């Protein structure tokens, strides 16, 4: 008999999710990225509060920044949190260091960065009972809470359906997200706020454009808890190969993002949302075509 085991078998034995000690193990680099995610979310919340304070001061500034400046900082910290969130999972998968502790820690950080921070930002900017618009004066808090509730439910559902204790030795081959990912939802809200601030700097008719935020937040909240599938990008790693033409197009896209960041970020986020909706709408037709072809 051959008692030799491969390195992957040894690693699988050490990473038994049924073992409490192993499941709660803290791996440094992935959880450091999650801590960075949490830090960015916390600072984004602080900037939202400081923006609100700037609105109440006679000078219109707080800590040498206007209200718009603080909101802009909050937006960039939300995007920074999204970058850290993307890194922690990739580092864990690349090093074979995924753990139940890391998954739970990641979700707790996401609630702050992609739940509370965007909801608070939109509430203070558009839906505030003192600074907001008349139509939302009494129900603004409700929009923010619905968004936050759906984000928390989305994260809890994700932890359940990806829990290794429920799947055993089975490996999920579908790399799509079920429901709109919470970082993408927060990025959409943040990019729209950034776009509105950009418009306000050159056009004082912010009130008309800002009316799009509450309906968009409700749509995003619904998509987070829906079964609409969105591509995850988990298949893209350091080993991914591409041809020259897609690589050049990607570099051109990055250049456009840098030059026209306010418009490009919003278009990218909205494109991702409606791509999932379009693909979901087309899915029954594809399934019928596949069934007809197989028969």
With respect to residue 272, please indicate whether it lies within any of the assigned structural domains.
no
pLDDT at 268: 93
What does the alpha-carbon distance between residue 186 and residue 199 come to, in Å, rounded to a whole number? 20
pLDDT at 27: 78
With respect to residue 234, please indicate whether it lies within any of the assigned structural domains.
yes
Give me the CATH number covering residue 212: 1.20.120.1760
Alpha helices per DSSP H over the chain: 7-14, 20-23, 28-56, 67-94, 100-110, 117-122, 140-161, 164-167, 182-202, 206-210, 213-224, 244-259, 261-294
Instruction: Count CB atoms within 10 A of the CB of residue 1.
Output: 2
pLDDT at 85 over 50: yes
Q: What confidence tens digit (pLDDT) does each residue in 99-116 have?
A: 788 889 999 999 999 999
**Mean pLDDT, the chain, integer:** 81
With respect to residue 250, please indicate whether it lies within any of the assigned structural domains.
no
Q: What confidence tens digit (pLDDT) does each residue in 121-175 have?
A: 888 877 665 555 566 667 778 888 999 999 999 999 998 888 777 765 555 556 7
pLDDT at 64 over 90: no
The CA-based angle 18-21-24, given to 5 degrees, is 90
If one counts the domains in the chain, the total is 1
With respect to residue 283, please indicate whether it lies within any of the assigned structural domains.
no
With respect to residue 106, please indicate whether it lies within any of the assigned structural domains.
yes
What pTM does this model have? 0.84
Measuring CA to CA, which residue among 251, 273, 263, 137 is closest to residue 196?
263
With respect to residue 255, please indicate whether it lies within any of the assigned structural domains.
no
Is the sign of the CA dihedral 16, 18, 19, 22 positive or negative?
positive
Domain that holds residue 74: 18-241
With respect to residue 142, please indicate whether it lies within any of the assigned structural domains.
yes
């Amino acid at each position: 008999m051959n008692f030799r085991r491969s390195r992957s078998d040894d690693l699988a034995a050490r990473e038994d999710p049924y073992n409490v000690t192993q499941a709660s193990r803290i791996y440094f680099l992935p959880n450091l990225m999650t801590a960075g995610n949490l830090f960015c979310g916390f600072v984004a919340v602080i900037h939202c509060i400081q923006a609100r304070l700037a609105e109440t001061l006679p000078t219109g500034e707080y800590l040498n920044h206007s209200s718009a400046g603080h909101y802009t900082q909050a937006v960039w910290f939300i995007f920074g949190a999204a970058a850290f969130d993307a890194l922690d999972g990739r580092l864990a998968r690349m090093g074979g260091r995924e753990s139940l502790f890391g998954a739970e820690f990641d979700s707790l950080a996401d609630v702050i960065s992609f739940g509370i921070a965007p909801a608070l930002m939109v509430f203070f900017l558009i839906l505030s009972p003192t600074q907001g618009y008349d139509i939302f004066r009494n129900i603004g808090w409700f929009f923010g809470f619905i968004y936050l509730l759906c984000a928390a439910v989305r994260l809890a559902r994700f932890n359940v359906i990806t829990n290794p204790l429920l799947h055993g030795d089975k490996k999920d081959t579908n790399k799509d997200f079920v429901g709109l990912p919470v970082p993408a939802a927060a990025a959409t809200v943040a990019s729209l706020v950034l776009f509105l601030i950009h418009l306000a700097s050159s056009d004082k008719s912010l009130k008309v454009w800002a009316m799009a935020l509450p309906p968009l937040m409700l749509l995003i909240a619904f998509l987070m808890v829906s079964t609409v599938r969105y591509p995850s990008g988990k298949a893209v790693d350091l080993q991914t190969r591409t041809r020259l033409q897609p690589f050049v197009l990607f570099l051109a896209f990055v250049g456009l993002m840098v030059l026209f960041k306010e418009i490009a970020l919003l278009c990218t986020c909205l494109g991702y949302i409606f791509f999932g909706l379009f693909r979901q709408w087309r899915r029954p037709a594809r399934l019928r075509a596949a069934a007809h072809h197989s028969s």
